[in-house]
Amino acid sequence: MAGMMGTAAISASRLVSSHSSKTSSFFLQPSPGRKFYGGIAVPSKKGRSQLQVPISSVATTPTQQEVQKLASSKESQRPVYPFAAIVGQDEMKLCLLLNVIDPKIGGVMIMGDRGTGKSTTVRSLVDLLPEIQVVAGDPFNSDPEDAEVQGPDVREKIMKDEQLPVVFTKINMVDLPLGATEDRVCGTIDIEKALTEGVKAFEPGLLAKANRGILYVDEVNLLDDHLVDVLLDSAASGWNTVEREGISISHPARFILIGSGNPEEGELRPQLLDRFGMHAQVGTVKDAELRVKIVDERARFDRNPKEFRESYLAEQEKLQQQISSARSCLSSVTLDHDLRVKISKVCAELNVDGLRGDIVSNRAARALAALKGRDKVTAEDIATVIPNCLRHRLRKDPLESIDSGLLVIEKFYEVFT
């Protein structure tokens, strides 16, 4: 018995000593007068010198080669199905591309049957996302030039005329799990730092990570009400305010909200539905030849993902260039006054509440013209996007059997002809 007690005591002493040694290398001493909006902890390995450095110098500026190396390592770990390899579902793909070209459209809601490739298509968008300028080491992906999407730490540095290290990185896509807690979504107090250093530090959540990126919610119609409220608040203001245990902080949370779901599993709250800029309806492919092609392509991808991705590399690069070109020329695309009047007339005659329908229709038509390489919007562009912009904004009539998208098309041709 005494031997067992001695062994337990030795094991406990080793555990305590190893924990204390890890703690000394894991938590870094803060520089004086610096606020914390998210700690960065890097455990040191054996055989390396343990340096105590200020927290401000931990977030070093990665080189372009390091960024590319990180991207390639991620790709090798989890291969993503190529966007160009998606067969059919043109409406869904167009809505996603338009939101990448102009993030101010406000996201897209994808509703349709199960097993129709909704999640696969959204996640395949990652490869096509363009690069943006961000402040290195900033947890909010702050833009060094736009104050509207800058975190509190970056704004403080700018006021002090400090130089900001800037890197180029791809637009981020963040998955919001259905079982996520409110603290994980909004952010909360950093318990480890509070216990070890006695500092009230803010640990950013998923909304901070999604700033200037994409927030994807699969099965969004099954999302808990309290998380829906959080999303509504952030989507409306573009800011996330956190009040936790003596911490009060606001940070930018401007993201493209993408949701997918099956209407048979439950309806979406109208307040949240209205926050989505566009609505794509996805149906099961009926053509037998097309179904066989989809099955064969998927089997080829599962057999050898790397080879499959390489076979679509040229198409992916072409699509990337098209998106990049469309983003750069978007500001020069014009929409005639009479076409804008007709868009608003369609919205008014359909009894669309508010003006979001008008704004989104204008933006989507401009983005489509830019995608096609034109500097002027045509009536055909408007006809393509207006059902997706207004379909989910119409008041539902329980006695109406016709699809709301067809109602929008009918009203469009009535006004425009």
- Positions marked catalytic: 356
How far does CA 45 lie from the centroid of its chain? 34
**DSSP codes joined into one string, 288-347:** HHHHHHHHHHHHHHHH-HHHHHHHTHHHHHHHHHHHHHHHHHGGG-B--HHHHHHHHHHH
**Up-side HSE of residue 158: CA atoms within 13 Å toward CB?**
13
Pairing assessment for the beta strands 202-204 and 187-189 based on DSSP bridges: antiparallel
Cα-Cα-Cα-Cα torsion 209, 78, 217, 137, nearest 10 degrees, comes to 0
CA distance 247 to 218: 31
Q: How many other CB atoms sit within 10 Å of the CB of residue 27?
A: 18
Q: Partners of 32 in the beta sheet?
A: none
Burial of 166 by CB count in 10 Å (0-12 exposed, 13-18 middle, 19+ buried)? middle
Write out the H or E segment, with its range, that includes residue 230.
helix 225-237
**DSSP codes joined into one string, 359-387:** HHHHHHHHHHHHHTT-SB--HHHHHHHHH
CA distance 300 to 129: 24
CA distance 349 to 361: 15
**Up-side HSE of residue 97: CA atoms within 13 Å toward CB?**
26
Write out the H or E segment, with its range, that includes residue 98.
helix 90-101
